[in-house]
Amino acid sequence: MASIATTSNNNRTTESGQNYNFALTVLTSLFFMWGFITCLNDILIPHLKAIFTLNYTQVMLIQFSFFTAYAIISIPAGMMVEKIGYKNGIVIGLITAGIGCLLFYPAAGIQSYYIFLGSLFVLASGITILQVAANPYVAILGKPETASSRLNLTQAFNSVGTTIAPYLGSLIILSLAVKTAVDFKSMSPEQISVYKLAESSAVQVPYLGLAAALFVIAAVFAVIKLPRIEASEVKASGDEGVNYHDMHKSAWGYKHLVFGAIAIFLYVGGEVSIGSFLVNYIGQPFIAGLKESDAGKYVSLYWGGAMIGRFFGSILLSGITNTKKKNIFSALVFILAIILSAVVTDEYKNLSDISIINFSRTLTFLLFVVVNFAAFNFGLRKPARTLTILAICAACLVVASMLTFGAVAMWTILAVGMFNSIMFPTIFTLAIDGLGKHTGQASGILCTAIVGGAILPVVQGFFADNIGIHHAFFIPVLCYIYIAYYGFKGHKPSYITVKA
Domain annotation for the chain: domains and CATH numbers: 21-225+252-490 (1.20.1250.20)
Mean pLDDT (the chain, rounded): 80
CA–CA distance, 304 with 416 (Å, rounded to integer): 11
Which range is least confidently modeled, 6-20, 61-75, 419-433? 6-20
**pLDDT given at position 351:** 64
**pLDDT given at position 2:** 28
Give 496's pLDDT tier (boundaries 50, 70, 90).
very low
CA distances from 139 to 235, 473, 493 (A): 11, 33, 19
If you ran DSSP here, which 8-state letter would residue 18 be given? -
Give 182's pLDDT tier (boundaries 50, 70, 90).
very low
Which range is least confidently modeled, 51-55, 183-187, 297-301, 452-456? 183-187
Give 3's pLDDT tier (boundaries 50, 70, 90).
very low
**pLDDT given at position 270:** 95
What number of residues does the chain have? 500
* Spatial contact of 158 and 35, defined as CB atoms under 8 Å apart: yes
Average pLDDT of the residues in 64-84: 85
Average pLDDT of the residues in 325-339: 87
Q: Is the pLDDT of residue 407 over 70?
A: yes
Give 95's pLDDT tier (boundaries 50, 70, 90).
very high
Helix (H, G, I), strand (E, B) or coil at 92: helix
Q: Is the pLDDT of residue 431 over 80?
A: yes
Average pLDDT of the residues in 19-34: 78
Q: Is the pLDDT of residue 181 over 60?
A: no
Average pLDDT of the residues in 386-406: 95
**pLDDT given at position 110:** 81
Q: Is the pLDDT of residue 39 over 90?
A: no
**pLDDT given at position 11:** 42
* Spatial contact of 201 and 109, defined as CB atoms under 8 Å apart: yes
Average pLDDT of the residues in 471-493: 91
CA–CA distance, 328 with 320 (Å, rounded to integer): 12
**pLDDT given at position 70:** 84
* Total-model pTM: 0.77
**pLDDT given at position 421:** 86
CA–CA distance, 210 with 318 (Å, rounded to integer): 33
Return the top range by mean pLDDT from 9-18, 320-329, 473-482. 473-482
Closest residue by Cα to residue 308 from 260, 279, 344, 358: 344
Average pLDDT of the residues in 82-97: 89
User: Is 437 exposed, middle or buried (CB count within 10 Å of its CB: 0-12, 13-18, 19+)?
Assistant: middle
CA distances from 371 to 159, 265, 308, 419 (A): 19, 26, 12, 10
CA–CA distance, 164 with 172 (Å, rounded to integer): 12
- Residue with more model confidence, 287 or 141: 287
Average pLDDT of the residues in 207-228: 86
**pLDDT given at position 325:** 79
* Spatial contact of 415 and 394, defined as CB atoms under 8 Å apart: no
* Spatial contact of 149 and 319, defined as CB atoms under 8 Å apart: yes
Q: How many CA atoms lie within 13 A of 2 on its CB side?
A: 29
Return the top range by mean pLDDT from 33-42, 72-81, 113-122. 113-122
**pLDDT given at position 390:** 96
Average pLDDT of the residues in 372-389: 90
**pLDDT given at position 14:** 45
Which range is least confidently modeled, 58-72, 226-240, 253-267, 329-343? 226-240
If you ran DSSP here, which 8-state letter would residue 171 be given? I
